Amino acid sequence: MTLKKNKLVYPLFLSLLLIVMLNGCSENDKQSYVEETTPREKVQQNKDHYHTDNPVQKDVHQGVLSHKSVAIEKPPVNFIWELPKGWIRINSNSNFRIATFSIVDLKGVECSLYKFVGDAGGLERNISMWSKQINIKSNSEQLKEILSEVKPFSTISGIKGNLINFSNWVKNDLDANIVVSTLAIDDETIIVKLKGPKKLLSKSLTSFDYLIKSISKNQLK
Amino acid sequence: MHSIRKNKFIAAMASPKIAVYCLLLLCILTVCGTLYQVSYGIHEAKARYFTSWYFLVWDIVPLPGGQSVMWCFSINLLSSLIYRIELKWKKAGFALTHLGLLLFCFAALWTYLFSVESYLTLEEGASSNVSTSRYHWELAVWKIENGKKYVESQTLNSNIGKDDKFSFHNNEVQFTVLELYHNCSPSYSKEGRDLKNASGYSKIIQKKLQPDQTLNRPGGIFILEQNQDKILLIGEENNDLKLNSKKSSYFTHLRRKRNPLPVTLRLDDVNMKNYSGTQIASHYESRVYINGDGMPRQTRISMNNPLRISDFTFYQSGYRNSGNSEFSTLSVVKNSGRLLPYIASFIMGLGLLVESFYRMFKIKKRNK
């Protein structure tokens, strides 16, 4: 018995093509759905560290920095950070300033977190600007000296950054000093600036170091 | 039918030599792709060797890519089916085997055309019912009611341009495209201060399209028809823009396209083991809690043990430890034709079985 070829091959081939075309037509560029994305919630597990959204109730052990942290921020930006103990966030309304923090025990010290597109004008230009903010008259020689003191560092998550401390150029303990860190995330620059009297600033350097090293990219964004 | 058989093109294309060369090339491509993915990753390897029409060896010598070879092989099989195989019962084994092979090629085409690849990154304790596309972008508008986020989105295709209109949520939010760039970067300018943007940007700088689509970041200026506000949106901006409507508040964001999943996945734990004495990962494993399909359950996803739910397959593809928390990345593949290779294998197996039995029967008959 011979099967008639034209009764099998062509209908089969055409029906397969039709299925492909129909499936293609159902591709919709517009869609509507209910999105249920929730940030982390506490999970019972034997971990040596975890985050908490409550800044008051939890003490969280940080193995790396042997420091006590109390809160994780939920910023509307593409990076996250952890606040050191005793640091409080103050509201700030600015396009560039993401957040401002004050320190409970150190009145007069303020920390600001900025975000800029690109390289934020370059390190040299910024150092010149920051020098002026604390009344350091920087000539080109002094600027070179400050630039040579810039310390590269890396956050816990591996983001490369620079740390600049102007304390060597501030004479009196009560004069204003600035410690700044710059970090490059994607095509943006994050600047964390700690400002206050030289003496008080030296007391908050460990916490500042903790804050800048905790900055990481927000993977949930 | 005889006229088809006399067709020289079909006769030439039905040559078994073509099948042999195609199979040889597929073997070479598989070896090259496997070696390439070790250094460059699975996506790069797939693009270079398997979905390409051709690729250059040492940037000079062109060789056929997987797509060319597969088309050639499919045409060869189809031509053989028409030209060479006589559809008699005694040739049923051959016909089924060839049909199975042809279905394999069709399954590959289906997967290439219609499968949707995306990823889902979860921090421990976080959950989500949407995955994120690596290559496609969408203009999403949502409202929050009773704690639920109702999203409507429009995919940004390359054919979208000036004066195109999109409406969301029963025309409560309507956008008209004023400018749209498929790769750009945000900036600031005094002239653009009348533009509304959640992050304070006031200018878009158009950039050259990158061949690697993951590096492109779209952006555009849209007119909100309700109040004629000019809105500037940049892909994956840090903030969502709030739009006020008469009935309720809406938010908008230009973001990587989200693909709704049939379930909500919560990452309960993620583990990584290194080869002893090295920092090279030997094993990743995610413990996830699945909810939303009427059967809440916990399961494990590891490197060679994907999770399959209806047309979706979740593969363990990444792990990250940010110092304070751990993240797991799952590759999500939606493929409505995932059963086709199994059906093709069944048909091919059946064909080989029929052919073997037929030959055995024939030999026995001859010996008698």
**Structural domains of chain A in order of their starting residue, each with its CATH number:** 60-217 (3.40.1000.10)
Q: Tell whether B246 and B154 lie within a shared domain.
A: yes
Quick one: tokens of A57? 């109730």
**pLDDT number for residue A77:** 58
What is the per-residue pLDDT for B220?
A: 93
pLDDT over threshold 50, residue A3: no
**SS3 letters across B182-209:** CCEEEECCHHHHHCECCCCCCEEEECCC
How much is the pLDDT for A57?
A: 25
Q: What is the pLDDT of residues B209-252, one digit of tens each?
A: 877 777 888 999 999 988 888 999 988 877 788 887 777 888 99
Query: Looking at residue B30, what is its pLDDT?
Result: 93
Q: How many structural domains does chain B have? A: 3
Among the listed residues A64, A106, A58, the one whose alpha carbon sits nearest the alpha carbon of residue A209: A64
Mutate to test the interface with A, among B141, B174, B238 (most CBs of A within 10 A): B238
Q: Is the pLDDT reported for residue A205 higher than 70?
A: yes
Instruction: Let me know whether B209 and B313 are in one domain.
Output: no
**Are B142 and B121 contained in the same domain?**
no
More confident position, B363 or B314: B314
Cross-chain Cβ contact A34/B151 below 8 Å: yes
**Do the chains contact at B89 and A214, CB–CB below 8 Å?**
no
Is B114's pLDDT higher than 80? Answer: yes
Final residue of a structural domain among B259, B284, B305: B259
**B152 to A32: CB separation less than 8 angstroms, yes or no:** yes
Residue whose entry in the numeric block shows the structure tokens 């363990």: B316
Residue B245 host element (H or E): none
pLDDT score at A179? 92
Half-sphere exposure of A193 (CA within 13 A, CB side): 23
Q: For residue range B149-205, list pLDDT tens digits in order.
A: 999 999 998 888 889 999 999 888 999 999 999 999 887 777 766 888 877 778 888
Q: How confident is the model at residue A42 (pLDDT cuts 50, 70, 90)?
A: very low
- Angle at which helices B92-114 and B340-367 cross, to 10°: 170
- Range with the poorest average pLDDT among A61-70, A196-205, B252-261: A61-70
Say yes or no: B305 contacts chain A, CB-CB below 8 A: no
Residues B172 and B243 in one domain: yes
Question: For residues B73-92, b (16+ Cβ closer than 10 Å) or e, as one string?
Answer: bbbbbbbbbbbbbebeeebb
pLDDT tens, residue by residue, B272-306:
877 777 767 778 899 999 988 888 888 999 888 89
**Residue A101: predicted pLDDT:** 84
Task: Tell me: ipTM over 0.85.
Answer: no
Choice among A95-109, B57-71, B349-363 with the minimum mean pLDDT? A95-109
Q: How buried is residue A31: exposed, middle or buried, by Cβ count under 10 Å (0-12/13-18/19+)?
A: middle
B207 plus B58 within the same structural domain: no
| Whether residues B153 and B110 fall in one domain | no
Residue of A nearest to B320 (CA): A157
pTM: 0.60
Mean pLDDT of A14-39: 69
Cβ <8 Å between A2 and B1: no
The answer to whether B325 contacts A42, with C-beta atoms less than 8 Å apart, is no
φ/ψ region of B294 (left if φ > 0, alpha if ψ in -120 to 50, else beta) reads left
Shared domain for B279 and B225, answered yes or no, is no
Of B121, B200, B238, which is closest to A219 when you measure between CB atoms?
B121
Highest mean pLDDT among A157-171, B44-58, B349-363: B349-363
Residue whose pair of structure tokens reads 């129909």 in the numeric block: A22
Q: Residues B89-111: pLDDT tens digits?
A: 778 888 888 889 888 888 888 88
Mean pLDDT of the B10-32 span: 88
My answer on whether B75 and B57 are in the same domain is yes
Does residue B316 register a pLDDT over 80? Answer: yes
SS3 content of chain B, % helix, strand, coil (to 5): 35, 40, 25
Q: Which among B89, B185, B324 is the nearest to A49, CB-wise?
A: B324
**How far does the CA of residue A154 sit from the closest CA of chain B (Å)?**
12
Q: Which of B195, B225, B259 is the endpoint of a domain?
A: B259
pLDDT band at A64 (very low <50, low <70, confident <90, very high): very low
Residue that finishes a domain, picked among B201, B236, B259: B259
Averaged pLDDT for residues A52-73: 30
For residues B146 and B245, state if they share a domain.
yes
Same domain assignment for residues B84 and B143: no
Domain span at residue B234? 135-259
* B224 HSE (CA, 13 A, CB side): 22
Q: Flag if A220 and B123 touch (Cβ within 8 Å).
A: yes
Q: Which of B126, B153, B322 sits opposite A216 (nearest CB)?
A: B322
Top-confidence residue, A66 or A74: A74
B248 shares its domain with B273: no
Residues B151 and B226 in one domain: yes
pLDDT at A46: 32
A76/B240 CB distance under 8 A: yes
Calculate the average pLDDT of chain B. 86
Whole-number mean pLDDT of chain A?
70
